[in-house]
Amino acid sequence: MKRYLILEDGTVFPGEGFGSSVITTGQLVISNNRTGIEQSVTDPDAEGQIIAFTIPGIGSSGINRDFYESINYQCKGVVIGSASAESVDGSIPFEEWITTLKIPGIKNVDVRALSKYIYEHGEMKASIMDTHDEHAIDQIKALVLPTDLVKQVSTKQSYPNPNIGLKMVIVDLGLKYSILRQLSYRDCNSVIVNYNATPEEIAGLHPEGIIFSNGPGDPKDLPKTIENIKVLQKQFPIMGIGLGSLLVAMANDCQITKLPNPHHESSLAVKEVASGKIDFVNHNHSYTIDQKSIGSSDFIVTNICVADGSIEGIRHEFLPIISVLFEPEAAPGPTDGYYVFDEFIDLINSTKNQDWSI
């Protein structure tokens, strides 16, 4: 059945519909992830997004439901090029899977032309529709994207991920389950709380470390969380991932800028400044920390992106804060970044016996 992907400036990309037949609108994101459709679609970062996957032959590698990154996925739509209806391991075919998730999809789109267009004109809203007349285009322009994306995905109720080890509190801004997997692997006794949990509530859980997770949307939409960080960082070691790390930076007077070319790839090189080591890690972010504001802050830059020099990791000069903009938990992507979790645990252990609080 013919459907169209219509961009907010009127450009039309035809294709064939599959999955749910509803009309959908969202922020269009071009993802160059080489693998990991399951993770990308269920990633809470995809809240409100229509993701265009540029890899060919989607579906051949199969769908593994153990790889989900959240339970309540909110991806608004999926745009792909060629797909395969059968997989190597006999798992549920890709198109059928998207249908069970009730997500609208469009295939056989010229994703090369699409990504080239977005690359040149910047990320924009888009819609998957059945017609491409004037009326449709006006509807898209009129739509205002929600600014409460984190509220939609953050857990309403605190819940534990119990274990016998370091006590961690994770502030859920749209966290990926793989973060919990990595913490479990390191025996961390975790509690996951809502993004608006107050410093008192969090302190009452006696954490040894607090993690601000990844999530969807613009960091400027979360002023309260930023205030919370300012209070908490004086008492506890903090780790920021993705959106969480942008908030940590803003809580310490750094500015956020949009990346000229957003990073949506499962394997981009990141260099550890201190040792010069290059690791390949998963990136899913459109924002970064402004270079100038870092200079005047109390942060040291620990990681930069090799391809475009943007800041990917920071660490506070005297407070125990580690922050990375990439996804150290991978899922999908190379596992070179797992060490960040080990670093945070080392940090917690070494600050335990020190008197560092201000």
Q: Does 261 bind another protein (CB under 8 A)?
A: yes
What the block records as the tokens of 35 is: 């693998």
Calpha distance 152→234 (Å, rounded) = 29
* 339 counts as binding another protein under rule CB under 8 A: yes
Q: Which residue in the set 65, 141, 278, 292 belongs to the binding site for another protein (CB under 8 A)?
A: 278
Q: Is the Cα dihedral 218, 329, 264, 306 positive or negative?
A: positive
- Cα pseudo-dihedral 173, 174, 175, 176, rounded to 10: -160
Determine how β-strand 167-172 pairs with β-strand 2-7: unpaired
Q: Which segment (162-170, 194-202, 210-218, 315-323) binds another protein by CB under 8 A?
A: 315-323
- 64 touches another protein by CB under 8 A: yes
**Residue 9 found at the interface with another protein (CB under 8 A):** no
* Angle, alpha carbons 216-20-262 (nearest 5°): 30
Q: Tell me: does residue 39 bind another protein (CB under 8 A).
A: yes
Closest approach of another protein to the CB of residue 278, in Å: 4
Q: How far is the CB of 159 from another protein (least distance, A)?
A: 26
Whole-angstrom distance, CA of residue 12 vs CA of residue 290: 34
| Sequence-distant (≥ 6) Cβ neighbours of residue 349 within 8 angstroms | none
| Contact pick of 126, 192, 243, 268 for another protein (by CB under 8 A) | 268
Q: Annotate each residue in 102-141 with x if it binds another protein (CB under 8 A) or - if it does not, as one string.
A: ------x-xxxx-xx--x----------------------
State the DSSP code for 145. Answer: P
Closest to another protein by CB, 201 or 298: 298
Q: Is 209 left (phi over 0), alpha (psi -120 to 50) or beta?
A: beta
Task: Provide the token pair at 92.
Answer: 């549920």
216 belongs to the binding site for another protein (CB under 8 A): no
Distance CA 185, CA 201 (A): 26
> Is there binding between residue 185 and another protein (CB under 8 A)?
no
Q: Smallest distance from the beta carbon of 24 to another protein, in angstroms?
A: 20
Cβ distance to another protein smaller for residue 195 or 287: 287
Q: Of the two residues 222 and 311, which places its CB atom closer to another protein in the complex?
A: 311
Contact 332/274 with Cβ under 8 angstroms?
A: no
Q: Which of 20, 23, 60, 184 binds another protein (CB under 8 A)?
A: 60
Q: Which region, judged by CB under 8 A, interacts with another protein, from 133-141, 186-194, 227-235, 349-357?
A: 349-357
Count, residues near another protein per rule CB under 8 A: 78
Q: Which of 239, 332, 337, 348 binds another protein (CB under 8 A)?
A: 332
Would you call 276 exposed, middle or buried from its count of C-beta atoms within 10 A (0-12, 13-18, 19+)? exposed
Question: Binding to another protein by residue 252, rule CB under 8 A?
Answer: no
Q: For another protein, give the closer residue by CB, 30 or 232.
A: 30
Return the range that interacts with another protein (CB under 8 A); candidates 49-57, 154-162, 163-171, 215-223.
49-57
Question: Cα dihedral sign for 149, 152, 158, 160?
Answer: negative
Of 224, 207, 101, 85, the C-alpha closest to 151 is 224
Residues between 138 and 167 with contacts to another protein, criterion CB under 8 A: none
* Site for another protein, residues 68 to 97, rule: CB under 8 A: 81-82, 84-90
Q: Which of 19, 44, 48, 59 binds another protein (CB under 8 A)?
A: 59
Could you give the angle at the alpha carbon of 218 between the alpha carbons of 213 and 221, nearest 5°?
A: 95
What secondary structure does DSSP assign to 293-341, as a single string? HHHTSSEEEEEEETTT--EEEEEESSS-EEEESSBTT-SSS-GGGGHHH
330 makes contact with another protein (CB under 8 A): yes
Question: What's the closest the beta carbon of residue 123 comes to another protein, in angstroms?
Answer: 13
